[in-house]
Amino acid sequence: MKTLRLVLSHVFHPSPLNTENYIEVDRPIGLFHIATGGCGACGQELSALSGAAYGLARWGVEFVRTPQQAHYLLLTGALSRNMGFAVDAAWHAMPSPKGIIAVGDCALGEGIFSQNYATFGGMKGRIQADLTISGCPPSPALIGDAIMSLLHSSRHSQPPPPPQAPEEPPPLSSNEENSGG
Amino acid sequence: MSEWEKELRSFGQAHSQDTDEHYKSAVEIICSGKEYISPSASELNTQQRAYHFQLDEKKWERLLSELAYSPLLLEGMWYDGSLLHALFLDQSYQPLIACLPIEDGRYYGLSAVRKEAVFYERMINDLWGVESLSPVELPPLVDHRKWERMAPCNNKLPSLSPHTADFSIFTEEMEKHLASSKAELIETGPADGARHAPYALHLVANIHHILGAQLSVGYGHRGMVARMRDLPLHHAFPYVARLNAAASIAHQWAFAQAVEQALSIHVSKNTSLQRCILAELERMTAHLSVLIQLWEETDARLLAAHCEKILEEIRDLNDQVCGHRFLMDTIMPSRNSATFTLDQIRFIKAHLSILARYNDELYALYAEATGLRKSLLGKGVLSYPLAMEMNIGGVSGRASGRDYDLRRSMPGYDLKWLSALSFPQGCCEARIRMRLAELTASLRIIHAATDRLEKGMNDPQYPYKREEVVDYAQQGLYAGWGRAESAEGVVWYWVKIEEGRIADISYADPSQKLSIIAEHLLKQAHWTDGPLIVTSLGFSAAGTDG
């Protein structure tokens, strides 16, 4: 009975992700998430993406708890001034090659939280992201598909340069080629 | 007998004669003030009693001395540029607001007599530079000295640059513990890779337990009140809906009620029923989100996976019925933007049976996890007296023995649908059981509400169009108060509308009080249980924005 239920659940509940175009990653890809001031919806959609309903971890992409383990810094929220230092610190703590993913309208500077005394109004013109995913909030399927497309494209591009200690602290942007990959 | 007294007696406690007299005296002092809103506006709202009074400094001081002995509940404080407002609840849980003109940037604070006032007074000081004269230490709350100027909402003050040197998040008590050689500082956040809104937890602990705790919020401060003030009425809705994603419907409903009360707008039965369905859908998602975090904290992956599947089913249902997975932008004054058709109602009902089956499985799984339940018992106990004193509602209040559920008096709900659920333990396990019980109750309520909605499809709906509301709001000065029950407690809004614009606004989210409660509960707990206790309360840092 349980086997039948398992088979039926696969037939009637296909993965909500567009997995046909997904690639197997050679090594786990770590995402370090920072919520920078928002309602929390984007964070909840990221939780859903990593959870049992979407299972992004099965494709080798997982959320990590320290920037040292991360390949990509994943930012949500309108970039509050109080969180600016944390974003900066996390970025500098990440080993190269690395990249930035901005998720949600607030992070892209397209949401309702424009610049004021408390926020920078998103990353627009301030942080250059490798991948931007709009939506308020974008659905887990949309986020998952976009991240897998980024990994797919970075796999087919040039190999990453060897990590070098920068002479000066790099700006908070990911203009390195083949970032994250 | 008042609501409050009933609640106290149900738990075997009773008021003394003295406290009753102090309570009456405090209410009399507030009501002896000048009515706040001008008579022309009050005349329009003939159905509502006056509840907002302006006091002079002498009366304010007398009120403070009475509050030391009176059990009048403080629900919030805010400043509007010239007046300081303090919102209390009387014994029937109805609002009573006292306001005080501030002339020299200082006032006698309520934090000396009310623990919860600490949060509001710190916020007022950060945003307006208006200082509370209080014996209690009031460190900055949302101003982390990263802004371009201090007191950003107060244009009357000279533009002061922030002084980073004077910023310390630690209270004197924590500094004292830290100086002890046996205590260690354990810190997490605000950027710890978690998916929740940012906050930091600073624990001073020895090998046995936590000696002092500080839950720092304000990292994700967006300046919500400053954004909404002076906006045309309808432009404020997206902000209200996005204040706290975990309680979006509760915020929208409370705000809509405040506007409806201010403008004396009638809401149809069907509109209220639809709001009730939306609120219960949101309640389920809120409980499931907290449960997932708790299972992750306790390494109960199977339970987490089960909750994730149910949560996704509900979010998908929300999307199909309202076009938004978090039900944002669905409630407006006098109407809902998403109208349920007969097909949609049947679609919801069809989904309910699937959700009920999943829910039963979740319950059975939790019942089998004896070891997990045992490990959660007795952790983070919120006592009944503290829950009562600070008027903690929602899951945390009911899991601590309180019998308070605002839904009993909210439009759309039927008393028959709401069973009296209350557990006396007040620990993490009781809060989890309460969440599981409320999941089942929400399914039952949605079923009953959809049945009623289906039968009454032809009832009159939407007496006002959006343009009519806007036109009406432009004709004068109005003020209103509204509230709604979220999963974690009561959300309320007070709004003043002047010529179609928001002249002033204030709100409360349960997380504001829960941040203070969390610090209390963490003391004496083992330091490894810190995140678990905070999560079990359903605390959301997004809700503490001001």
Report pLDDT digits (tens) over B339-376. Answer: 788 899 999 999 999 999 999 999 999 999 999 999 99
The span from the CA of A16 to the CA of B416, in Å, is 38
Nearest to B246 among A38, A40, A84 (CB): A40
Chain B residues in contact with A9 by the CB 8 A cut-off are none
For the segment B13-39, what is each residue's pLDDT rounded down to a tens digit? 555 667 788 999 999 999 999 999 754
The span from the CA of B397 to the CA of B395, in Å, is 6
The span from the CA of B266 to the CA of B210, in Å, is 51
pLDDT at residue B448 tops 70 = yes
**Mean pLDDT score across all residues of chain B:** 90
**pLDDT above 90 as % of chain B:** 72
Say whether residue A121 is in contact with chain B using an 8 A CB cutoff: no
Asked if the Cβ–Cβ distance from A83 to B190 is below 8 Å, we say: yes
Structure confidence at residue B274 as a pLDDT band (50, 70, 90): very high
* Structure confidence at residue B3 (pLDDT): 65
Give A72→chain B minimum CA distance, Å. 12
Asked if the Cβ–Cβ distance from B223 to A118 is below 8 Å, we say: yes
Going B528 to B532 to B533 to B534, the CA torsion angle's sign is positive
* Structure confidence at residue A159 (pLDDT): 45
Burial class (CB within 10 angstroms; exposed 0-12, middle 13-18, buried 19+) of B384: buried
* Distant-in-sequence, close-in-space partners of B42: CB < 8 Å, separation ≥ 6: B35, B50
Burial class (CB within 10 angstroms; exposed 0-12, middle 13-18, buried 19+) of B197: buried
| B19, B26 Cβ separation under 8 angstroms | no
Give B466→chain A minimum CA distance, Å. 21
Cα dist from B447 to A58, B283, B289, B414, B444, whole Å = 36, 14, 22, 12, 5
pLDDT at residue B43 tops 50 = no
Asked if the Cβ–Cβ distance from A113 to B147 is below 8 Å, we say: no
| B259, B495 Cβ separation under 8 angstroms | yes
Interface mutation vs chain A, best among B123, B149, B242, most A CBs within 10 Å: B242
Maximum CA extent, chain A: 64
Cα dist from B51 to A29, A150, B36, whole Å = 58, 57, 9
Q: Which two tokens stand for residue B42?
A: 């009050």
* Distant-in-sequence, close-in-space partners of B278: CB < 8 Å, separation ≥ 6: B249, B322, B327, B330, B331, B336
Comparing B127-136, B181-190, B297-306, B494-503, the range with the smallest average pLDDT is B181-190
Say whether residue A34 is in contact with chain B using an 8 A CB cutoff: yes
What is the arithmetic mean of pLDDT over B511-540?
Answer: 95
Give B142→chain A minimum CA distance, Å. 8
Chain B residues in contact with A118 by the CB 8 A cut-off are 142, 147, 152, 221-223, 226
Q: Which two tokens stand for residue B408?
A: 């009993």
- From chain A residues 75-104, the ones with a CB under 8 A of any chain B CB are 77-78, 80-87, 89-90
Within chain A, which residues score under 50 in pLDDT? 1-4, 6-8, 10-12, 159-170, 175-181
Nearest to A117 among B152, B245, B315 (CB): B152
Query: Where does B235-379 have alpha helices with state H?
Result: 237-241, 248-262, 269-297, 301-322, 342-368, 370-376
pLDDT at residue B201 tops 70 = yes
What is the arithmetic mean of pLDDT over B319-336?
Answer: 92
Q: Which two tokens stand for residue B430?
A: 């009781």
* Structure confidence at residue B161 (pLDDT): 66
Interface mutation vs chain A, best among B167, B195, B330, most A CBs within 10 Å: B195
What is the arithmetic mean of pLDDT over B49-56?
Answer: 89
pLDDT at residue B100 tops 50 = yes
Nearest to B223 among A45, A117, A139 (CB): A117
Number of CB pairs < 8 Å for A and B?
148
For the segment B449-479, what is each residue's pLDDT rounded down to a tens digit? 999 998 887 666 655 666 777 777 777 889 9
**pTM recorded for the entire structure:** 0.92
